[in-house]
């Protein structure tokens, strides 16, 4: 796989990102991969390489770029260390829906101008907070996002959240795949039921299911990583994008 380091102009500056290209001759469909709360790191670079290996130009952006050259987190201590948890939460909350939507527009515009990319429909996928970002991108950019996935995503259908993705169901044109984790306080069964109901009522092609694994199951450096669930997630992405991004 080829990786290209780049910087994408946004309304608020320059967003660092890597572009991961499949081997061989393109062009290929494109996907935006949103990280979990720990942000871009070696594990996600490897995941983006793997997605590129399935035949998709994969954009891995740094959604925390407004914090400048931020210090990477240790995923094993970022929640247990009080200072690191405070720093993490400050960065997570700084990625407002308004910032996310504007940045997503810049990422989509960037992909539309790349010679390696074919087609107008783009895929999204995300993990933990990135799962929410994936669905928000689909809801706010329905003319561009043709397939959207969320894995152990949080606050996908919180009743007290006016920016929750389920409220955008009637705008989504993408095929949606959501894989939740068991016993996940960030997305309990009632949220999944609310999300599925909203998607069904809006006529969105979708799958919402729960894997027998803990939050963080798909990301190899997470303490809760589950190899079987990770492989299931890759198979689901292959089916989703194979059906929605080709043709």
CATH number at residue 155: 3.40.50.1820
Question: So what's the pLDDT on residue 247?
Answer: 63
Rounded to the nearest 10 degrees, how much is the dihedral formed by the CA atoms of 233, 235, 237, 239?
-150
Q: Torsions phi, psi of 15, nearest 5?
A: -95, 110
* Rounded Cα distance, 116 and 93, in Å: 34
Report pLDDT digits (tens) over 112-165: 999 999 999 999 999 999 999 999 999 999 999 999 999 999 999 999 999 999
Structural Rg of the chain based on CA atoms: 17
Question: So what's the pLDDT on residue 36?
Answer: 96
Q: Which domain holds residue 17?
A: 2-244
Question: So what's the pLDDT on residue 71?
Answer: 86
Query: Does the pTM exceed 0.95?
Result: yes
Report pLDDT digits (tens) over 174-202: 999 999 999 999 999 999 999 999 999 99
How many CB atoms are closer than 10 A to CB 231? Answer: 11
Q: Residue 25 burial by CB count (10 A; 0-12/13-18/19+): exposed, middle or buried?
A: exposed
* End-to-end Cα distance, the chain: 24
Q: What's the number of CA atoms in the CB half-sphere (13 Å) around residue 220?
A: 11
The pLDDT of residue 1 is above 80: no
Count the domains in the chain.
Answer: 1
Across the range 35-61, mean pLDDT stands at 97
82 vs 227, more confident: 227
Question: So what's the pLDDT on residue 140?
Answer: 98
**Chain CA centroid to CA 243, Å:** 18
């Amino acid at each position: 796989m080829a990786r290209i380091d780049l910087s994408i102009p946004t309304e608020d500056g320059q967003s660092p990102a890597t572009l991961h290209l499949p081997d061989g001759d393109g062009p290929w469909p494109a996907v935006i991969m949103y990280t979990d709360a720990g942000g871009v790191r070696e594990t996600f670079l490897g995941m983006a390489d793997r997605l590129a290996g399935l035949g998709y130009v994969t954009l891995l952006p740094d959604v925390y770029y407004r914090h400048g050259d931020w210090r990477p987190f240790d995923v094993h201590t970022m929640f247990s260390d009080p200072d690191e948890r405070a720093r993490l939460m400050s960065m997570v909350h700084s990625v407002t829906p308004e910032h996310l939507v504007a940045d997503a527009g810049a990422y989509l515009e960037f992909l539309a101008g790349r010679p390696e990319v074919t087609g107008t429909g783009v895929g999204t996928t995300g993990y933990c907070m990135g799962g929410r970002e994936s669905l928000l991108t689909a809801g706010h950019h329905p003319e561009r996002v043709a397939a959207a996935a969320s894995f152990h995503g949080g606050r996908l259908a919180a009743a007290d959240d006016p920016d929750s993705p389920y409220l955008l169901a009637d705008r989504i044109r993408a095929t949606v795949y959501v894989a939740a984790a068991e016993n996940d306080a960030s997305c309990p069964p009632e949220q999944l039921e609310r999300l599925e109901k909203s998607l069904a009522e809006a006529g969105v092609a979708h799958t919402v299911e729960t894997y027998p694994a803990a939050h963080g199951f798909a990301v190899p450096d997470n303490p809760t990583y589950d190899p079987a669930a990770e492989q299931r997630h890759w198979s689901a992405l292959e089916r989703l994008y194979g059906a929605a991004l080709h043709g």
